[in-house]
Amino acid sequence: MATLVSTDYKFPGQTAEYHGKVRDVYTINDDILVMVATDRISAFDVVLPEGIPYKGQVLNQIATFFLDATKDIVPNWKLATPDPMVTVGYKCEAFPVEMIIRGYLSGSAWRAYAAGERDLCGVKLPEGMVENQAFPEPIITPTTKAAEGHDENISREEIIAQGLVSAEDYAVIENYTRALFKRGTDMAAEKGLLLVDTKYEFGKRDGKVILIDEIHTPDSSRYFYADGYQQLLAAGKPQRQLSKEFVRQWLIAGGFTGQAGQKVPEMTPEFVASVTDRYIELYEHVTGQPFVKADEADLKERIAANVLDCLNTLGR
């Protein structure tokens, strides 16, 4: 199966381009962003050597689904989805933090807790919790948004003290974060899922706070199956989940956690296919819609043509 692991477009009016871990972003006339969700996959802030077929389409279409489903809560950057792997939207001045919100003690939060930490980004954690246990109420554990390398945990107080976000704006994005997580939690429950944790990014445009980037995708979120959750929790067993965490666990089992000198385990065709299957499974569960695989022939040409049509329609 074909994968899109790199792009190098030159669109009319293009004024900048940025190649992130998994998305390539092209700026048009310093005002519009063309965000291409590639098939690259990253873990521990490292891009893995093999692309995952249909991953970009899954991420882009889930993000579109939830951006449309939450625009009554907060305005977002999206203008159009001209291609299964592309979103076009407004350029905003991004806040240099990611708003991570957690409903359960899982992933990196659990690893820190198991190592003895009881203060996570300024939030005091109670004693006696077990892996995957629900918090009394969701907690917000922000990180810095690093241009390169690892994001770092940071507290609300440090964000404001360092001038990364003003106290006024932080209050707004904190409220938006909780409202979005509540909506995501309710939508997941309707599909028999638990939204465990997720992250949101915000920016400003014309003085207004805007939701940017993707939301509620398997790259930015963790989901458990609600069915069997309590039994597995009581037995101290791993939860059945839909997220990228299984990739992290596979890497950890292979001795890779993103540290210098470590080598990524071999990504066999069978493993890559299993990752595709998990992404598609999550798409169908969280959206309640069947996943329709887009034509993978001439991916780069298809995207270019669709983006050009969109920019022409927008008058850009």
The closest alpha carbon to 121, from 82, 151, 78, belongs to 151
Model pLDDT, residue 89: 98
| Structural contact between residues 285 and 191, judged by C-beta atoms closer than 8 angstroms | yes
pLDDT tens digits, 282-291: 899 899 999 9
Model pLDDT, residue 150: 67
User: Which comes out higher in pLDDT, residue 88 or 150?
Assistant: 88
Q: Whole-angstrom distance between the N-terminal and C-terminal Cα of the chain?
A: 33
Model pLDDT, residue 161: 97
The mean predicted confidence, pLDDT, of the chain is 95
Domain 14-92+245-314, architecture per CATH: 2-Layer Sandwich (3.30)
Model pLDDT, residue 244: 83
Tell me how far apart the 2 most distant CA atoms of the chain are, in Å.
58
Domain ranges of the chain: 14-92+245-314, 94-242
Global pTM value? 0.90
* The residue to which tokens 């695989």 are assigned: 293
CA distances from 46 to 66, 147, 262 (A): 26, 13, 11
Environment class of residue 112 by beta-carbon count within 10 Å: exposed (0-12), middle (13-18) or buried (19+)? middle
Instruction: Indicate if 94-242 has the same CATH topology as 14-92+245-314.
Output: no
Model pLDDT, residue 38: 97
Residue 16 CB neighbour total at 10 angstroms: 11
pLDDT tens digits, 4-24: 999 999 999 999 999 999 999
pLDDT tens digits, 161-192: 999 999 999 999 999 999 999 999 999 999 99
Model pLDDT, residue 151: 79
* The residue to which tokens 């996943």 are assigned: 291
pLDDT at 54 over 90: yes
Cα angle: 303, vertex 219, 116; to 5 degrees? 160
pLDDT at 52 over 90: yes
Query: Would you place residue 245 in the very low, low, confident or very high pLDDT band (cuts 50, 70, 90)?
Result: confident
CA distances from 10 to 35, 57, 208, 239, 242 (A): 13, 21, 30, 45, 36
Answer CATH for 94-242 from 3.90.420.10, 1.10.600.10, 3.30.470.20, 3.40.640.10: 3.30.470.20
CA distances from 199 to 114, 116, 222, 294, 306 (A): 22, 24, 10, 27, 29
